[in-house]
Chains A and B, each alone.
Chain A
Amino acid sequence: MTSVSRVLAVWLTPVSLLAVPAALVASAADGLWLGLTLSLVLLVVLGLAGGRREPRPDPERPGAGQLFRVVTLLVAVGMLLWANIALAGDVALWLGGQRWQGIVITATLGWLLTAWSPLRRSAPLLLAVALVAMLAPLLQIGWASGLPPIAAWDRVATQPSFRFPPSSPWVTTGRELGVARGRAPLVFDEVHRLTAPAGGVLRARTLDGTRLAEIEWTLAPGQTITLRAGDELSRSSSLRLRFEADKHVPGAPPSGMAWAEDRPRRWMRRVGLAVTLLVGAAALLRAGLTIRLGRDGVGFVAAGLLVAFVWAQAWAVYAMLHAPDVLLGGVSIERLLELPAPILFAEPWRRALQGFLLVGALAAFLASSVALRERLGALDPTGGGEIGRDPGLWAGLFGGAALASFWPVDPWALTLLALGGVGCALGPAALAPPRRGRGLLATTAGVVGLVAFVATAVVPVRGSGGLAGALAAYPALVGAPAGALVLWLGRGRR
């Protein structure tokens, strides 16, 4: 059972868990693909795990290959921790706190858990806490809505437009525009009155006939300004803004039907995502060790993935139904940790459910930290797993990740970068291990894969569509085949 929880905790970090509902909210089909791929590639890797084992290193002569594996995995684990701690900072900011509060709490607890030996085997308990704490608000919202998930989906997919509900915090008290990170432009498609409760400087690009103009207003507290269809709000404006109720949310899809439809010609991007996750899962779970799960173990892992995916779907649908303002300017994953539909719950229930969500995410993060530490320790049989028990090393790792988290990043993009990089370096050899005594071949393939991955990632690409856009978004499409090719060529030579 410990291995089951370890496998789930390594794979389902809070960023990965929340990336699925965030993607579902942004686009139904893309979100489904992400959730499905995230679930199935792990099972594929488990299925392939019963094949040939990767040769274990000689304890007397660990060699450069082992060093390459340890360093690569250590960097990847550091990046995964960074992504999750950065998410904690984003969540703190989004819920009205300070960024440092979320960062310090998660990094400190994560380090304590990995450093204090009695707590090192707490991953199953933490996962159970995360499960209960994340399911409770979902069940409450489903019950309070009076709509089962399928009926809620139908309601969302038939919405003529996604509009600000009167109870939205963006309407009642207003929010800092600066915390609304996202990629979609804040373009209005109807007349919209904005109020600055505390005043400030507002910048917008307005459309006057066919002429674009950059305009800056200095607003007094409580002053209102009206933007017209086609005007775009600049994200550089850092002031608290109140939007109008029952107006279309800028950045949201035009309608529920548009949200539910699949966008055509996205094959390469979907394949790129699947390849990245596949090699990433292989590297995280198989490089340097062998997973052996019986029927119960595989069943638990598969059921855990199914529960996580079903939770993500239902959570996304209820969030869109009750809080379409989650779509303002594009979705970012920290918004999915805010309780949608606050109006459905009176105090202190609302705070309790919000607390449940935060506790669930924190427990998932701690479980992941413990599991990643154990994973790294298992790669170091020559040192008796010392690398997984060294408090100084882990203090440095958590401290570095915490410091880096003060610089806002997209946690999911960072997670994909970590999975792609470690996947190209270690994934091909983990999926098709070379024969015993050919460790150098695995290392060569890993170096070639990693170099190809980095080279593809840093090459500037014009436009975001087509094959070039897919390669830029998922450099593992180049790195993983490059590593696999080296393995294949090397295997042919006796």
Chain B
Amino acid sequence: MRPVTHRTAGVVLLCLLLVGFLLLGALPNQVASIRVGGLSLLWWYGGVLAPVVAVLVAIRWLAEPVASPRDE
């Protein structure tokens, strides 16, 4: 079995961020449409929170462990 690396954790987190959007949209009674601070919950999540968290996840977990002189 291959070990779970930091990179794997990052990929799983990114996938969870995508799944979170689907789940939020599937909540009953149009919960995703509730307005908070001028935006709907769905927009806060899909347009602000998830993209920003994705950047942090990418920086923290997706980088190559050892810098390489060649990119490709």
Contacts and interface: CB of A to CB of B under 8 A. Distances in A.
Interface string A212-243: 00000000000000000000000000000000
Nearest to B66: A294
A43 B39 CA distance: 26
Interface residues of B, number: 43
A293 B38 contact: no
B62 A2 contact: no
Interface string A250-261: 000000010011
Interface string A1-21: 011000000000000000000
A46 interface: yes
Name the prevailing secondary structure of the A interface residues. Answer: helix
Interface of B: 5, 7-8, 10-11, 14-15, 17-18, 21-22, 25-26, 30, 32-33, 35, 37-40, 42-43, 46-47, 50-52, 54-55, 57-59, 61-65, 67-68, 70-72
Main secondary structure of the interface of B (DSSP, over half): helix
Contact of B62 (A154, A289, A298, A306): A298
Given A36-B18, A47-B10, A289 B47 contact: no
A160 to B, nearest CB: 16
Contacts of A306: 51-52, 54-55
Contacts of A150: 37-39
Contact of B54 (A40, A291, A313): A40
Contact of B11 (A36, A37, A47): A47
Contact of B59 (A154, A270, A298): A298
Contact of B63 (A28, A33, A44, A297): A297
Contacts of B5: 50
Given A3-B72, A289-B72, A313-B47, A46 B39 contact: no
Contacts of A154: 35, 38-39
A378 interface: yes
Given A43-B54, A47-B10, A32 B43 contact: yes
Interface of A: 2-3, 28-29, 32-33, 35-37, 39-40, 43-44, 46-48, 50-51, 150-151, 153-154, 157, 257, 260-262, 264, 266-267, 270-271, 274, 289-299, 301-303, 305-306, 309-310, 313, 378
B55 A290 contact: no
Contacts of B14: 40, 43-44, 47
7 contacts: A154-B35, A154-B38, A261-B33, A291-B71, A298-B58, A302-B58, A306-B55
Residue of B15, B30, B40, B42 with most partner-chain A CB within 10 A: B40
B22 A270 contact: yes
B38 A151 contact: yes
B30 A293 contact: no
Nearest to A294: B67
A137 to B, nearest CB: 20
Nearest to B65: A50
8 closest cross-chain pairs (CB), A and B:
A3-B71, A295-B63, A32-B46, A302-B58, A47-B11, A154-B38, A302-B55, A47-B62
A476 to B, nearest CB: 16
Given A3-B72, A267-B26, A306-B51, A293 B63 contact: yes
A444 B53 CA distance: 38
Nearest to A50: B7
B71 A157 contact: no
Contacts of A303: 55
A262 B64 CA distance: 38
A299 B68 contact: no
Contacts of B64: 50, 292-295
A101 B1 CA distance: 58
B69 to A, nearest CB: 10
A35 B26 CA distance: 18
B62 A43 contact: yes
A368 B38 CA distance: 36
B39 to A, nearest CB: 6
A302 B63 contact: no
